Amino acid sequence: MITVPQSMRAMPRWTRDEAGRAWLDELPQLVAEQCRTWDVEVDGAPLHGSNAIVVPVARGGAVFALRLAPPGDDVTRQVEALRFWDGRGVVELIEADPAHRAMLLERLDGARTLLSVPLDEAHQVIAGLVRTLAVPAPPDAPTTAEVARQHAESFERDWIALAEPVVPQQLRAAVDHALALAAAPVADTAVDADLHHGQVLAGTRAPWIMVDPVLLRGDPEYDLARVLWTRLDEMPGDDDVTAAFRAFVATVDVPEDRARAWVVVRSFSYLLWGLSHGMTEDPMRCRRLLDIFA
């Protein structure tokens, strides 16, 4: 049976998650059962991200990756996203068992992500993937406008509950931008709502492939803030940040004002979420983005 990596057990996210800790204890047995279901054998040491565990597996001469997610993870939505894009810029789905939060996926190189690539090159790869994914979306997909509307309704309440962690002017900017984005016409473009360097792995059929996509319909610039905050510490000057922002806008060919609005809204949202979950480093990065763009 596999051994759950200690680095996964040590993640702060499990501190308040009793069901998640129980799932970690059950993982070796769950992996063994899923391997029997899909007639595969463990073929290497497990890896993990911020959420799921990924186990290299094989069947005959074919190699795959077995992904298991914790309780509460919306695997059905992830399966729908993978089936929609069907390998276009994203990892290929081989089998799915949403009831057990399990997927059998194309094997990628989990040791090589865009986090290991020079920043300018990594940003260009991500921008290119955004364009690759930007095909007509299903009409029933959740929209970026709906997300903006929810934020507009909750920002002030959550800001007060967290003892007003940023100045009122930044709250007002975030709410105003969210209201404007919610009211704007919705594009029919497919968007990945979980976009960052750690989600892009080296592949064989393509140099770089996205994993764990979340399908939305709307603005391709929706998750630019996450692209920026993921490697923000490598951009020491504010000019470096705005240069990266403008390069993304130019490559993806999106309106700069809407991109700026989404950076403010998404940074404010993650700031509040991070503080409410006891995070310390990422909220500081969000504050920096708000100082630059709000």
User: Measured at the alpha carbon of residue 117, what is the angle toward residues 200 and 123, in degrees to the nearest 5?
Assistant: 65
CA distance 94 to 101: 14
266: which DSSP letter?
A: H
Positive or negative CA dihedral for 262, 268, 273, 277? Answer: positive
103: enclosing H helix or E strand:
strand 102-106
> Alpha carbon of 149 to those of 57, 62, 166, 222, 276: distances in Å?
42, 45, 21, 13, 20
Which of the residues 194, 223, 240, 282 is marked catalytic? 194
Q: Residue 185, exposed/middle/buried by CB under 10 A (0-12, 13-18, 19+)?
A: exposed
CA distance 58 to 63: 4
CA distance 193 to 144: 9
> Would you call 194 a catalytic residue per the annotation?
yes
Q: Is the separation of the CB atoms in 186 and 217 below 8 Å?
A: yes
- What residues have CB less than 8 Å from 233, skipping those under 6 apart? 285
**Catalytic positions, please?**
194
